[in-house]
Amino acid sequence: MPDGSLTKDTSPASFEEALRGHPDASWGVATNFRRINKRDRVWVYYGRADGDLGVVGLATVREVTEQEDGRTTVLLRWDIERSKHLIVRPFPATEIRRAVWPRAAVGDLTPHARLVARLLRHASLPGIPSAPPSGAHKRSASTITYTPPKSVKAYLRHDAMIHPVRTRLETCGWELVEFRVPPKRVDLAMAKGKQVLLMEFKTITGSTARPVRDAFSQLHEYVWRYRRLHHTDSKRIHMWAIFERQPSDADVAFLEDSSLLVSWPSKPARRLLHSRHTHDRLRALGVVT
């Protein structure tokens, strides 16, 4: 983690957060460690259990040290810029599985020279837009992941949505804004240059109708209060509502026609979904591809 502590888990959001810390990281490996050598490239891959993202990071092996307990510690040096590029625009998992089926913590890509060449090209070409997902005229899957918490407590479910969104925005250069609306507090406010994102996250216990109305009214109030507090019209403020599950098509259209971005998680796929209109706006902000 950025403060030098261990990551909370091995989720993509925790990986993104760790990249903002020290460029070196220790990786404990119990199997296949004899396949790892100094100066090897290490590609970070997430499969179906973690949103089926594919390759999201790149590192170089600096040292390999065998421990007395049989484990091996691998010291990695992250390629920060390429990894940040891959986080937003991963190399697809489906393309990896066409060449190799990752089953263990360590796999050898030496026999797959064409795949490695494609990985390097993909990681080295920032600014090349990805093709939009096929058949996604109603909703698009972003590379922001979602891990449903085991607990049913609302505040934990709430945090499970907030954490990966905040982490992705920080990875893309957005900074946290402390903005309160007493007695309430805005769920998440972040800024980058002249762009401001005000976000409201909604857990849902019944119908989505009430949370939709609440998100609409709260976000419009936040924009009004933000402008009064900062006395400025120079910044462009975006409102983003993230729901625990998908609202009706009519509610999504209503919110988007009212200038809101609208997203919701797909629990089976463990990815955050957006309507195509929202996806296009987030893409223009550099948050998704």
Percent of the chain with pLDDT over 70: 89
Is residue 239 within 8 Å of 220, Cβ to Cβ? Answer: yes
pLDDT at residue 6, as a whole number: 56
Which positions ≥6 away from 257 have C-beta within 8 Å? none
Enclosing H/E stretch for 99:
helix 93-99
Closest to 161 in 3D by CA, of 213, 207, 209, 215: 215
Taking only the tens place, the pLDDT of each residue in 115-159 is 999 999 998 854 434 433 333 335 667 778 887 777 667 677 888
Q: Has this prediction a pTM greater than 0.75?
A: no
In whole angstroms, what is the distance from residue 26 CA to residue 74 CA?
Answer: 6
Q: Provide the pLDDT confidence category of residue 56 given band limits of 50, 70 and 90.
A: very high
Number of residues written out for the chain: 289
CATH fold of 140-284, please?
Answer: Trna Endonuclease; Chain: A, domain 1 (3.40.1350)
Instruction: Express each pLDDT in 73-120 by its tens digit.
Output: 899 999 998 998 898 889 999 999 998 887 777 888 888 999 999 999
Q: What ranges do the domains of the chain cover?
A: 12-123, 140-284
Provide the edge-to-edge strand list for the sheet that holds 140-145: 140-145, 271-274, 260-266, 236-243, 195-202, 188-192, 175-176
Task: Convert the pLDDT of each residue in 217-248 to its tens digit.
Answer: 999 999 998 888 876 677 899 999 999 989 99
* Neighbour count for residue 97 (Cβ, 10 Å): 15
Report the percent of the chain where pLDDT is more than 90: 43
Find out whether 58 and 41 touch, Cβ atoms under 8 Å.
Answer: yes
